[in-house]
Chain A
Amino acid sequence: MQELLNGVAQGTVYALIAAGLVLIFGVVRVPHFAHGESVMVSGMMTCWAVTSLHLPVLLGAAVGVAASVGYGLFLCFAVYWPMRNHPEWNLLASSLGAVVITQTAAIAIWTSTPRVTPGGVSGSFEIGDAIIPWSWAVLAAISAAVIGATALLVSRTTAGVSMKAMAADAETAQLMGIPVRKNWAIAFAVGSALAGVAGSVYSTVFPVSTTLGLDVTFSALVVIILAGIGSVAHVLWGGVLLGVVEAVAGTVFPGGYQDSMVFLFMLVVLVARPNGLFGLERARD
């Protein structure tokens, strides 16, 4: 029971990060492997703002999210936008190049010691015989709320609907007068903001380090595979599923093999249902 609840809490954070990646990957078709770096940048900036500038946690989180959005927009317009007509693997290579540079710079600035932002929520409560820290509940609640808000943004606003049109057929969407460049900016800004929220909130509960970026990206990709690329809301279920699988694998195989179980689970899903477990739409590639 305790492990399952741990998994659910962890899973909602995965889902939040993955929801941001769905926007970027689904709408503008950029394999943004530097998405995890946005999470890292936000976590480190939040921690720096709170410990060095002595800002309150909420303001520190705002600093983190702003840094993350700035980072995402910078990559969008300095790297990906000029390459929009290049083959997909060139974009993939450039995002990995960005990962290498960002991680090296981050280690040079902040070293690679994990750190926690002080001043998060403390105390805990009990469900049955499981003890849940309040901070985890806050983490899960914020994640779920932000994912819900993003899902509404995509389904209810003009910008969201035009982004869906771009995801369906970028060329036709452009012919119909949809502002492609603006939607790129929105997708990257909102997507990186979600990563930023995840990074700053996570840093108040668990230690974050400068080297976590790629692992975070991999987890987000696994969630997207489980959930299918079609929908922001489905991502929540994909994230929770990943968290639970990880927790169960951790208890069943205590001596390693935890990563293998997660990857193996993903591979089985991918081979058996190439559109994801919850994906109803047909994948286009």
Chain B
Amino acid sequence: MTRFLPWAALVAGLGILGTGSPYLLTLAATSALAIMVAIALNVSMGLGGSVNLGVGVFYGCGAYGAALLNTKQGYSLGASLVVAVAIAVVVSLIVGPLLLRTRSLYFAISTLALNGIFVDIVASNDDLGGELGIPGITRPGPLPFFGEDGDPGSLRTMYLLICVALVAVLAVFAAIRGHRVGRTLEAIREDELLCQSLGYTTLGYRVFAFTVTAGLAAVAGVFYAFVIQYVNPGPFSFLTSSFQAFVIVAVGGAARTWGPILAGIVLVAGPSFLEFSATTNQYVYGGVLLAIVIFLPGGLAAGVDRLARGGAATTSSLRRTLARLKHTRESEGELS
């Protein structure tokens, strides 16, 4: 039963926020989107171990795709979701195998470059809105039980849909993490050479993780376009999107299901609800980030775990198995 407790808490928390003012709803919705992008990143960075600093590209693909489809072709939210996510997945399948030839920091830098190229293209191309962006995205009508009067402008409806998407994206992450594929990804993260020698096509798994990240980030992007009703290059630059997602994953605890939620609350939702000045906000952001990364190497999720277990640190069974396997292989190597 206890494994459903966090889910219940999440749904309850989102529900309570849903009764707030339009201002509160907008803050909650944008925080939820930032967390969603981080959960997406957690697949390739947390499980797969590839530090991807270009998740903003796919977040942007979703948002720009939805904005163009809605304003130019009149696509609804649902249709845009399908088409824009498909575009992001195709893009990731093209660039993924190329970029994933590089490793560790080289991969991080090449994805960073990808983000730079994306922002430069959308900012320079007038068909994509240029610096001014694309305004005038129409939200879907309010849900039947709200009625036109109960939800003017459909903000509450959008918030509710974003909450559903957040829970769904988190469930996808939890499912992958628990599945054989997720375990293989974690093994590749720990020792790629060992996995190759066991017969796994590691590049295939890494491309899979990269693509899942792209698809889930694009989902967040589509909802961004429909809730804000305006897209411009700013929110998809490295500093505001990819950097933020990377920090949320690192602070929450890589590969941990609840890490991005915890870190998102501490780093994104908390400061915006407390309404500091912009400068104070930056100090708090940088300071909290440094403090957690230095003193809690496993992230907030590991910290919460340790509290729950009364202070004892845990070693994952995966690490122990890998160490044993490696040891066996090495001693076999000595014999032959």
> Taking the complex as formed, is A104 at the interface, i.e. its CB lies under 8 A from any CB of chain B?
yes
> Taking the complex as formed, is A175 at the interface, i.e. its CB lies under 8 A from any CB of chain B?
no
Interface on chain A toward B: helix, strand, loop, or mixed SS? helix
Closest Cβ neighbor of A275 among chain B residues? B106
Chain B residues near A90: list those with CB within 8 A: 250, 293, 297
Bound state CA distance, A86 and B250, in angstroms? 12
**Taking the nearest CB of chain A, how far is it from the CB of B264, in angstroms?**
15
CB distance A100 to B116 under 8 Å? no
**Taking the nearest CB of chain B, how far is it from the CB of A243, in angstroms?**
17
Mask, B135-158, CB within 8 Å of A = 1, is 000000000000000000000000
Stretch among B7-15, B21-29, B84-92, B282-290 lining the A interface: B282-290
Closest Cβ neighbor of B124 among chain A residues? A256
Mask, A205-233, CB within 8 Å of B = 1, is 00000000010001001100100000000
CB distance A89 to B116 under 8 Å? no
CB distance A88 to B51 under 8 Å? yes
> Taking the complex as formed, is B243 at the interface, i.e. its CB lies under 8 A from any CB of chain A?
yes
CB distance A274 to B282 under 8 Å? no
> Taking the complex as formed, is A277 at the interface, i.e. its CB lies under 8 A from any CB of chain B?
no
Bound state CA distance, A100 and B99, in angstroms? 27
CB distance B286 to A98 under 8 Å? yes
Chain A residues near B279: list those with CB within 8 A: 104, 107-108
CB distance A93 to B251 under 8 Å? yes
Bound state CA distance, A107 and B278, in angstroms? 12
> Taking the complex as formed, is A110 at the interface, i.e. its CB lies under 8 A from any CB of chain B?
no
Closest Cβ neighbor of B115 among chain A residues? A263
Known: A88-B51, A285-B103, A285-B104. A93 touches B289 (CB 8 A): yes
> Which bracket fits the contact residues of A?
35 or more
> Taking the complex as formed, is B325 at the interface, i.e. its CB lies under 8 A from any CB of chain A?
no
Known: A88-B51, A104-B283. A94 touches B294 (CB 8 A): yes
CB distance B113 to A263 under 8 Å? yes
B116 interface neighbour in A79, A86, A260, Cβ under 8 Å: A260
Mask, A90-130, CB within 8 Å of B = 1, is 10111011111101110110000000000000000000000
Residues of A within 8 A of B (CB): 25, 31, 79, 82-83, 86-90, 92-94, 96-101, 103-105, 107-108, 214, 218, 221-222, 225, 255-260, 263-264, 266-267, 270-271, 274, 283, 285
Residues of B within 8 A of A (CB): 45, 51, 98-99, 101-106, 108-110, 112-114, 116-117, 120-121, 123-124, 238-239, 243, 246-247, 250-251, 254, 279, 282-283, 285-287, 289-290, 293-294, 297
11 contacts between A and B (CB under 8 A): A31-B105, A90-B250, A93-B293, A96-B289, A100-B289, A101-B282, A214-B239, A257-B124, A266-B110, A267-B110, A270-B106
